[in-house]
Amino acid sequence: MRVLVTGGAGYIGSVVTELLAESGHSVAVFDDLRYGHREAVHPSATLIAGDLLDAPALDSAFQSGGFEAVVHLAAESKVEESVRDPSLFYEVNARGTVNLLDAMARHGARKIVFSSTASVYGEPEATPIHEGFPIQPINPYGASKHLCERLLRLASHAGLQHVSLRYFNACGASTRYGEWREKETHIIPILFDAVQGRRASFTLFGDDYPTADGTCVRDYIHVLDIAQAHIHALAGLGDLPSAVYNVGVGRGYSNREVIESVRRVSGMPLDYAVGPRRSGDPAALIADASKIRNELGWQPQFQDLDSMVRSAWQWRLRFPNGYASS
């Protein structure tokens, strides 16, 4: 299948592109490279540098590629930035998705797998969270992603087939591709920076949450398992009705447990300070992913946090300067 991957030069997008290419699909990546890296694009994929807010650039991409399906990952995604500048998130995430859907309609592409988020659930009243839980995001990032899900449902009336994947916390690395940003916000790579001396200290944001140890609890899911969820979703489009699926393991780890995992895996000392809560962070997010297991046959291969952290640490050791090392 000829597939366009938006955001395919980013962390998750690079691994999705890798697995699509290795599964025999013909893949092109559409990415503005603000957050992504040319070196993160699989060598068999075509890179098209472009912005989702540039409708003519999208038309040009579809005209050149003849794409049958889209995997849509391009987005603004930093929760705390969404609180500071919500209009940016609605513009890029929602308006960008409208432009993409319009281009798909003009060029006859009828299938899309959308990168959504567990942030749409906000502060759930219980865990684990299934897809029928109330949608009540507490930050503009989650709200913008839910708006995109609604746009897909509206487009389905014109024949669009769609799957939205609500990821929980992505982590880990493939042998080739891993997590590297100029301004990192995710806890595991930040902890790696701390143990390697790339940053002076690590701050734990909040230890007064209503959780067992007072720190945020998240369901960590390996990036390779997320990528496999996209492969399963793409294969199911056409045979199954459009749907929304949670993508997680079903077990939560606290931020303090993540710190201890990085200590064990790296074998290095790690000190930290406790700071105030970060705006927009729910206390606990843990997935009920039984729907995607039952309907698409997807199963996560990485079940424990240490194995996920280990793969990310091995990638960091192999590429100590990120994609500048490639």
* Active site members: 141
Task: Kindly give the residue spans of alpha helices, DSSP state H, lying in 66-134.
Answer: 79-84, 86-89, 96-107
Rounded to the nearest integer, the mean pLDDT of the chain is 96
In terms of Cα–Cα distance, which of 142, 123, 121, 117 is closest to 132? 121
pLDDT at 326 over 60: no
Produce one character per residue of 19-31: b if its CB has 16 or more CB atoms within 10 Å, e if not: bbbeeebbbbbbb
Domains delineated in the chain: 2-171+220-247 (3.40.50.720), 187-218+250-325 (3.90.25.10)
The tokens for 110 are: 């009828």
pLDDT in tens, 100-140: 999 999 999 999 999 999 999 998 989 999 999 999 999 99
pLDDT in tens, 21-68: 999 999 999 999 999 999 999 999 999 999 999 999 999 999 999 999
Say which amino acid occupies 129. Answer: I
In terms of Cα–Cα distance, which of 40, 115, 38, 32 is closest to 73? 115
pLDDT at 176: 97
